[in-house]
Structure 1
Amino acid sequence: MRRIYFLVPDLTTTKRIVDELLLSRIEERHIHVLAKRGTPLEELPEASLLQKSDFVPAVERGLALGGTAGALAGLVAIALPPASTVIAGGILLGSTLAGAGVGAWAGSMIGVSTANSRVKQFEEAIEAGQLLVLADVPKKRVADIEARIKAHLPEVKVEGTEPIIPAFP
């Protein structure tokens, strides 16, 4: 999946984009709208905390760093003289998993409180009253969806795509 960003001037055009995406067989759960706080979105799919924050990238970083730190701690524990070969693998595995878990948890706490770094560049436009539509589309259909939106709604700016979107949010 790839995420396409559309910067939209008003609510009416946003509704037309969402309708166009739905007609293009993009499920509503893959469409997210960000607007200035207090803007009534009516029936439009509002972006959740996962889209508004850096939650997923922070968890990924925390998982990698915590797992690495846990593996290093396990290696140090194995290197100490009283460790036997039988329990060494368990110590290494356990410390790696514990480190990864703690790292992912800490990363999630940091990520939830941090604004989405990709969306930050649109903050001024959103505060000025524009809306940002995020659409998660299959990689093969990105060009088709962008062309369809541009053909039907030339006033909409396609602000680019994000390279990889995890399947779970």
Structure 2
Amino acid sequence: MRRHFYLSDDLDDLERLESDLEARGIARPQIHILSNNDAGLESHHLHQVESLLRKDVIHSGKIGFLVGLVAAAIPLVVAYIVGLSEGYLWIPVIFLSIILLGFCTWEGGLIGIQRPNHQYLKFERAINSGRHLLIVDVDPGQEKRLMKIIADHPNVEDMGLGESVPGWLVGAQKQWHKFVRWAP
């Protein structure tokens, strides 16, 4: 999947654009809008970016996990070199490694919750000035369709591409929305 970014000043136009996208086969979980005007997004029934994804929790958690892997390997290597691998003395070292891995991952997430998402930093000034960021994740087969729809909305400014969420995650969100509509 590829992630496209667009900026707009008009929530009414974004509402029409979102319904055009949905009418032409781009599902709601593929469309997100990031704005400081949460009340406006709610009143226009626009699909906004989830609050957790506005922060850099996932990205920083991944970095924390990688740091944790290195930190967890250190006691394992030291214990092996020293010779603690014989007998029951190995068990506390394994637990220490697990604790270090978990702590570093958790700390990475805590650091990330204090920062805006790294993908949205370049749009921060525009969003703070009252503009709205449209984020569309599309498959390669949907690219031409997206370009045709965007061409019908001249007030939307193309801001380039970014790293997309995995396709399986969008598929899972689609299935979840189907379930929510089906469930009582």
**Which AA in structure 1 matches 2:81?**
A
Q: Structure 1's 136 and 87: CA in aligned 2 closer, same or farther, altered over 3 A? A: farther
Which runs of 5 or more residues in structure 2 are unaligned?
171-184
Q: Report deviation, 1:108.
A: 1.0
Deviations 1:123-157 (A, max 9, x none): 2222222111112222x146324412332112211
Q: CA deviation at 1:9?
A: 1.8
Structure-2 separation of matches of 1:149 and 1:94? 55
TM-score, scaled relative to structure 1: 0.82
Name the structure 2 match of 1:61.
63
Letter in 1 for 2:103: V
The superposition leaves residues 61-97 of structure 1 with CA deviations (integer Å, 9 ceiling, x where unpaired) of 1111101210122111221234318976x77765554
Match in the other structure for 1:46: 48
> Which residue does the alignment assign to 1:34?
34
Deviations 1:95-128 (A, max 9, x none): 5544332222111111111111221221222222
Structure 1 residue 36 displacement after superposition: 2.1
Equivalent residue number for residue 12 of structure 2: 12
Q: Conserved in 1, the CA contact under 8 Å of 2:8 and 2:157? A: yes
Alignment of 1:71-82 (within 5 A): 71-82=73-84
Q: Distance in 2 between matches of 1:142 and 1:77?
A: 53
Contact 1:3 / 1:161 at 8 angstroms: preserved in 2? Answer: yes
Q: 2:124 matched to 1:123?
A: yes
Matched position secondary structure for 1:114: coil
CA distance in 2 between partners of 1:145 and 1:76 (Å): 57
Say which SS state the counterpart of residue 122 (structure 1) adopts.
Answer: helix
Q: Secondary structure at the match of 2:49?
A: coil
**Cα displacement (A) at 1:165:** 2.1
Gaps of 5+ in 1: none
Distance 1:59 1:145 in 2: 35
Aligned-residue Cα RMSD (Å) equals: 2.6
Same amino acid, percent of matched pairs: 25
SS in 2 for 1:40: helix
Report the TM-score, using the length of structure 2 for normalisation: 0.76
SS at match of 2:85: coil
Q: Which residue of 1 aligns with 2:173?
A: none
State the match for 2:21 in structure 1.
21
Question: Whose helix proportion is higher, 1 or 2?
Answer: 2
Find the counterpart in structure 2 of residue 84 from structure 1: 86
Is 1:106–2:107 an aligned residue pair?
A: yes
Deviations for 1:9-54, whole angstroms, at most 9, x for unmatched residues? 2111111221122123222223221112454212111211233111
